[in-house]
Amino acid sequence: MPQSGIAAGWTGSLGSCMSGTTAAAYHTATIERVNVYRALAGLPGDVTATTAGAVQGAQDAALMFTANGQISHAPPTSWLCYTAAGAGAAATSNVSLGLAGPEAVVAYMDDYGSGNGMVGHRRWILYPPQAQMASGSVEGAAGWPSNALRVIGGFGARPDTPVGVAWPPAGYVPWQLLPSLSNRWSFSWPGANFANARVTMTRDGQALGAVSYEPLANDVGYGDNTLVWLPQGVNYGQPAGDTVYRVTIDGASGNGVPASLSYAVVVFHPEARPERVFGNGFDG
């Protein structure tokens, strides 16, 4: 994934409240990073950029975050560099302060931070009907880097996902893409009831300790219903060889979800290292 090597090329001005643009290649790289994660999760990796107007609204939102040193999905009109277009984008976006562009997508997928137990950012990126997104980023200004990734409003038809959507996903996963900062693993299924669901895990055939769970927050407008748990005994460092984590989920119900399902996550060290980016932090 070479997306992080592309310069932002931001043309705006913080002092003049000009949101500007980023280089077309940088915007494309941000959307491509989304598609990498979606493809690994077994979803179509074909999200495209939406309209120029949506992109500009996302740029306005990012500028407001940098100018005010904070993020909000409902920025007040009193904010520096406020625009209605930016406020509209903030309401429909994953938002970040401290990371921009492709690096912000990495943070959204890890979904670390005390307020992100619902993994809402990840859920929107992996929401199966996603078809179009817009990204706005500010990088290189005097303030914090920032991003608004518009994830609501560009939906298409729901693709077939017969085994739900897991992160980390079933199959081979580079170790650098594991949620090492949050330790939050998740499984999504539209309309599922996870109230009585329980997760057990093994590593290379050996049982791991009991998992703990984030509070359920389903049917609240964050993509599909999702079970989020924090496992014990996961190695987030470079593995000496392929490491197989088997996840078993029992007790889920509703909308065709199996009462028991199991899948294997095979963590490996790739020859060409995928990028893993750490920044000052993000929220939203």
Is 26 in contact with 163 (CB distance < 8 Å)? no
- What is the rounded distance in angstroms from the CA atom of residue 75 to the CA atom of residue 83? 9
Q: State the average pLDDT for the chain.
A: 92
Q: Which amino acid is at 67?
A: A
Local confidence band at 276 (pLDDT 50, 70, 90 cut-offs):
very low
The structure's pTM equals 0.93
- Please say if the pLDDT value at position 55 is more than 80: yes
Report d(CA 113, CA 121) in Å as an integer. 12
Q: Do domains 3-150 and 165-268 have the same CATH topology?
A: no
Taking 90 as the threshold, does the pLDDT of residue 236 lie above it? Answer: yes
Share above pLDDT 70 across residues of the chain, in percent, rounded to a whole number: 93
d(CA 272, CA 33): 16
Rg (CA), the chain: 19
Which tens digits make up the pLDDT trace of 101-120? 999 999 999 999 999 999 99
Q: What is the pLDDT of residue 193?
A: 94
| Contact present, 72 and 90 (Cβ < 8 Å) | yes
Question: What's the pLDDT score for residue 274?
Answer: 47
Is 3.20.20.70 the CATH classification of the domain at 3-150?
Answer: no
User: pLDDT for 237-253, tens place per residue?
Assistant: 999 999 999 999 999 99
Average pLDDT over residues 135-143: 89
Domain 165-268 in CATH 3.40.50.1820? The answer is no
Domain ranges within the chain, ordered by starting residue: 3-150, 165-268
> Is the pLDDT reported for residue 148 higher than 80?
yes
